[in-house]
Amino acid sequence: MSKLKPSEAPASGSKLHDLSVEKYLHQCVTIGNPDYLQPEFVRLSADLAYWNVRYSETIGAHLRAKKDLGVICAKLDILVREQLAASGVRTTEAMVKSTTESHDDYLEAYEMLITAEVEKARVYGILDAVRAKKEMLVSLGAYQRLEMQGDAQMRNLGSQQTAVERQTRKGAPDKPKTKPDDDDDL
């Protein structure tokens, strides 16, 4: 039997096992300093764009692997039927299917489909983590704005209190202390 070749996956980094990629991945899904979010907000759109492109590449690789498996399966089906007919063996669908699915070309194409499926799921997980980071950044930003508003209100309240204290120190008359009258008890 002739060796059938499935199309190759895109060479533009279909694997994510490079150490520098893993480091970049870690930076994409974590927040460095929760007190200083500005760089994270700036970086977020680039991370989303990068991982969306990567996800679309893995979808393309998965679809090509699926197509290749179908083409190889169809070619092997014809080849197996011809060989079984030439040998004089009565051909059944189960026999053709089992012979086709145990062929090396089919197994290789099926392995490529599995690899593409795993890579697609992995990149989707990364993209999902970046989206979760986006939501977390929005929440942290809102929380920090509330804290800053609270600090401003506390500063205003504090300045009002210090103005009253200064007024009191300058000699503003204190309220006279009154003793309770004995007549009030009746």
pLDDT tens for the chain, 186 residues long, are: 445 444 443 344 445 555 576 677 667 766 666 666 777 777 888 889 989 999 999 999 999 999 999 999 999 999 999 999 999 888 899 999 999 999 999 999 999 999 999 999 999 998 998 898 888 888 888 887 888 787 666 666 666 666 666 666 666 555 555 555 555 555
59 vs 53: CA distance, rounded Å: 10
Whether 112 maps to a domain, the answer reads yes
Note the pLDDT of residue 183: 56
CA distance 81 to 1: 13
Query: How confident is the model at residue 1, as a pLDDT?
Result: 45
* φ, ψ at 178 (rounded to 5°): -110, 145
> Is 105 a domain residue?
yes
Helix/strand number for the chain, H first, E second: 4, 0
Residue by residue, DSSP assigns 123-154 as HHHHHHHHHHHHHHHHHHHHHHHHHHHHHHHH
Is 58 part of any domain?
yes
Is residue 64 a contact partner of residue 7, using CB atoms and an 8 Å limit?
A: yes
Domain membership of residue 155 (yes or no) is no
* Domain-embedded: residue 139: no
Q: Is residue 66 part of a domain?
A: yes
Q: Looking at residue 185, what DSSP letter applies?
A: G
Amino acid making up residue 51: W
Give me the pLDDT at residue 5, please.
Answer: 47
Q: For residue 162, what pLDDT is reported?
A: 67
What's the pLDDT score for residue 132? Answer: 87
In angstroms, the CA 30 to CA 106 distance is 41
Boundaries of domain holding 49: 19-130
Could you tell me if residue 85 is inside a domain?
yes
**Could you identify the residue written with the tokens 């012979």?**
99
Domain total for the chain?
1
